[in-house]
Structure 1
Amino acid sequence: MSIFAKPLEFKGQSSEYFGIWLSNLLLTIVTLGIYSAWAKVRRKQYFYNNTYLEDAGFGYHATGLQILKGRLLVLAGFLLLNLLATFLPVLYGFVGLALFFLSPYLINLSLQFNARVTSYRNVRFHFEGSYWEAFLAYIVMPFLSVITLGLLAPVAVRFLLNYVWSRISYGGHSIDTHLSLSDFYKLFGVSVILPVTGLFVLATVLMTLSFTRPESAFSDNYAMASIAPFLLGFYVYIFFIGFVYRIFCMTLLFKGIAIPGAIRFSNTIHPGRLLFILITNFLAIILSIGLLIPWAQIRQHRYITENIATHASTDFAEFVAEAAEKQSAFGEEFADFDGVDLGL
């Protein structure tokens, strides 16, 4: 059967989103951060509702109260741990260990929540995870990445993406993942190893120059003044590399996920163009003292969205109708979902 492509479309506008962003910022400041939960809902609803596939936007159905409850639970957990560490250190160890082993379960709850509050054409997504696979994805694999000095990092990232996305379904149709490990190693080498190695060499050169100055010109204050700008730049660069790596992992993801017998995805995101957008967005935000954040977010989201396409091997309307019927059969049609967003 012939496969036809249908690109995603983003209909949001910077001028329109600026009002939402500014009101969110001001209300968050006035309420000492409490409104940030509702701000997150407004932001996600704007981007979801304006992202179109086949002339229909996506939906985001979480409430600010659900997100606030989740944040309060996480905050209470941190406060409890701090109090126990201060006054009952022995009990702190047991509680900390219990939370450590509980974390995969809590992460699955968060993934389930985020899938459940997302919809397309009134059909909700669903996530069904397993505790031990989450334990491997979020605890064991990252640990192995650390002790192998990053050599297993691509394996860990691929395992994590496989776990999360293969457990998502839409109207009873599960998502299948075929992610190439070699692609993740190539991305890891280009995006992480080479830049970090270059920064390490640069750091060595700068520190050598700093500490080989004539004795009369050298002082502790001089050494710190010469190194401090580099350290600041280093941390900013590492943050930027992590951000870029995350986005490029997403581009690999959309090459390898599909709903068998119905839809597969593709993307035409050009790494050079995306890097240019990210760098110029960052500079625009800095030079505008943050006022161009809405413009930068819209610009980035539009480029990524409009370079992702779906390829349907079946009638799309029939596929969605079948998904809606399966959802109704399971009694999931827009029933209230009493979950909380733990932000994990």
Structure 2
Amino acid sequence: MAQVINEMDVPSHSFVFHGTGERYFLICVVNVLLTIITLGIYLPWALMKCKRYLYANMEVNGQRFSYGITGGNVFVSCLVFVFFYFAILMTVSADMPLVGCILTLLLLVLLIFMAAKGLRYQALMTSLNGVRFSFNCSMKGFWWVTFFLPILMALGMGTVFFISTKMLHANSSSSVIISVVLMTIVGIVSIGIFNGALYSLVMSFLWSNTSFGIHRFKVKLDTTYCIKYAILAFLALLPFLAVAGYIIFDQILNEYDSSVYANDDIENLQQFMEMQRKMIIAQLIYYFGIAVSTSYLTVSLRNHFMSNLSLNDGRIRFRSTLTYHGMLYRMC
């Protein structure tokens, strides 16, 4: 996984996880049962219990992390969200759209504010060897990175896509094919730019405002690199989509033919079973493609992020040894 490299003393220290899958699975089972019994009330405590187990079993250089947030802290935040949610539903059912819009805006502002304060609180309640983490940022910058910037990028992507559709013409079968290919390219590039640029900007902002004790983290990601691998990850998904789409399309044609020529119930049942089998195969191919694409994107961006993360003015650096096949194996 990740290793901390001290440039002054040369030695490296690996992050070591001492937990077991069996123990974590048992904790999750108990948490699910308690959440069901309490009709969801126990969910904040369940989430924090899982998180504390992961932190308490993570070690670096002989020291383990400590995570002090309790379920009660999260429960209060959940109550506030539930209150606003039901208030909005009541205003909508009472035919008061103006009040509903105002409450929705207030909820949005509250969620952004709670997200910023929540990151700060989580950092303060996380420590290593008695030294606490911290997260300090301006609300203006947090709003820009987490709300306004994604909206502007999405609007820009939609505008480019809309202009592209207006510029292309479908006067013949060949022009239709060319238009579809060009629109696919525009869509892939647009999604890659959106995902890659947003990842680079958000991660740089969050970690540049995070500190460990008196030392601040520094990270400078290459936006072009992130966009490149976001596009490649989407391209890796296309062959699986093509195969799954071909299977489904072929099955639809067969289903149409069978509806015209089928004569008895036995033949209909056989065709139905065959259709179900092909649909399952198409779904498995699609899900495997998602796993391949996601693992490729996750590993590429994670390794790039870790290699550019530093602490204490570059004296402590990080690197990740996560591999594509290792990530894919765990996802499948």
Check the 8 A contact 2:84/2:103 in 1, yes or no: no
How far is 1:166 from its partner?
Answer: 0.9
CA contact (8 A) 1:255 1:265 kept: yes
Letter in 2 for 1:105: F
* Secondary structure in 1 matching 2:40: coil
1:209 corresponds to which residue? 250
Q: CA deviation at 1:186?
A: 3.2
Corresponding residue for residue 62 of structure 1? 69
Q: In the alignment, is residue 162 of structure 1 matched against residue 162 of structure 2?
A: no
Structure 1 residues not aligned, in runs of 5+: 280-344
Aligned: 1:274 with 2:323: no
- 8 A Cα contact 2:34 2:42, kept in partner: yes
Structure 1 residues 201 and 242, CA gap change in structure 2 (3 angstroms): closer
Q: Contact 1:142–1:153 (CA<8 Å) still a contact in 2?
A: no
- In structure 2, the partner of 1:7 is 14
Residue 97 of structure 2 is aligned to residue 89 of structure 1? yes
Cα distance per residue 1:203-232 (max 9 Å; x no partner): 54235323433755148x979968965785
More helix as a share of residues? 2
The yes-or-no answer on 1:114 pairing with 2:122 is: yes
Measured at CA, do residues 10 and 86 of structure 1 come closer, stay the same or move farther in structure 2, by a change above 3 Å? same
Q: Aligned residue for 1:262? A: 315
CA RMSD of superposed structures (Å): 3.0
Q: Secondary structure at the match of 1:12?
A: coil
The match for 1:135 is 143
Shift of 1:255: 1.4
CA distance in 2, matches of 1:263, 1:224: 57
1:238, CA displacement in angstroms?
7.8
**Deviation per residue, 1:97-148 (Å, 9 max, x gap):** 3433444322211211221211111221111122222222212332244342
In structure 1, the residue matched to 2:58 is: 51
Does the CA-based 8 Å contact 1:155-1:181 persist in structure 2?
yes
Q: For the Cα contact (< 8 Å) 1:211–1:218, is it kept in 2?
A: no
Instruction: Tell me how far apart the structure 2 counterparts of residues 112 and 227 of structure 1 sit (CA, whole Å).
Output: 49
Post-superposition offset of 1:246: 4.5
Q: Which has the larger radius of gyration?
A: 2
SS at match of 1:179: coil
| 1: CA distance, partners of 2:200 / 2:219 | 10
| SS state at 1:132 partner | helix
Which moves more between the two structures, 245-254 or 45-54?
245-254
Q: 1:278 to 1:226 in 2, by over 3 A?
A: closer
Distance change (3 Å), C-alpha of 1:213 and 1:108: same
Correspondence 1:129-208 to 2 at 5 A: 129-147=137-155, 148=157, 149-150=190-191, 151-195=193-237, 197-208=238-249
Query: Who is 1:309 aligned against?
Result: none
- Structure 2 CA distance for aligned equivalents of residues 127 and 38 of structure 1: 23
Structure 2 residue runs of 5 or longer lacking an equivalent are 1-7, 158-189, 261-270
Instruction: Give yes or no for contact 1:179–1:256 (8 Å, CA) kept in 2.
Output: yes
Would you say the 8 A contact 2:245–2:282 is kept in 1? Answer: no
Cα distance change of structure 1 residues 35 and 248 upon mapping to structure 2, 3 Å threshold: farther
Looking at structure 2, the residues matched to 261 and 211 of structure 1 have their Cα atoms a distance apart, in angstroms, of 59
Query: 1:39 Cα deviation (Å)?
Result: 1.8
TM-superposed CA distance for 1:173, in Å, is 1.1
Q: How far 1:156 moved relative to its partner?
A: 0.7
Residues in 2 aligned to 1:218 and 1:232: alpha-carbon distance in whole angstroms: 23
SS at match of 1:6: strand
Residue in 2 that maps onto 1:253: 305
**Inter-partner Cα distance in structure 2 for 1:230 and 1:146:** 34
Change (3 A) 1:273 1:237: closer
Alignment-derived partner of residue 44 in structure 2: 37
Distance 2:257 2:224 in 1: 53
Write the letter of the residue equivalent to 2:59: Y
> Higher relative CO (CA 8 A, sep ≥ 6), structure 1 or 2?
1
Going from structure 1 to structure 2, the CA distance change for 1:36 and 1:236 (only over 3 Å counts) comes to: farther
Gap change, CA 1:49 and 1:97, over 3 Å in 2: same
234-243 or 43-52: which moved more?
234-243
- Give SS of 1:175's match: strand
Deviations 1:309-342 (A, max 9, x none): xxxxxxxxxxxxxxxxxxxxxxxxxxxxxxxxxx
Give aligned-pair identity as a percent.
21
Match of 1:322 in 2: none
Hey, what's the Cα distance between the residues in 2 that align with 1:140 and 1:124? 31
Runs of 4+ residues over 4 Å off in structure 1: 221-243
Amino acid in structure 2 at the alignment position of 1:38? W
